[in-house]
Amino acid sequence: MVFPPDLDTPDFAEAWDEWEAYRRETKKALAPTTIKRQLAMLDKLGSDLAIESISQSIEAGWTGLFAPKQDSNRVVGVTMDEAMLEMDCARGGNNGSV
């Protein structure tokens, strides 16, 4: 199998092999056109999220691949201290800082 350059890693190859095996086990073989389209979609996600997408689909028993679900409660791009201060300020509290 020839993967797009960004997906051409041992970890992705292992995840893809697992995906193909899973699809065979569920009697949902991958057609060449499906493989081409799935690899193109996964390439847009990048290697780490592509692997997460495959894992998510297998764990959920899905027969398709989807972008990984994001945790809507997770604060991204701030430190824990900044997140706690923001939560404290939103509640009208004082975090003890001067």
Provide the pLDDT for residue 80: 66
Q: What pTM was estimated for this model as a whole?
A: 0.71
The whole-angstrom separation of Cα 74 and Cα 42 is: 23
Provide the pLDDT for residue 91: 77
Q: Which residue has the higher pLDDT, 4 or 77?
A: 4
User: pLDDT tens digits for 12-67?
Assistant: 999 999 999 999 999 999 999 999 999 999 999 999 999 999 999 999 999 999 99
Query: Which strand (E) or helix (H) includes residue 44?
Result: helix 32-45
Provide the pLDDT for residue 95: 56
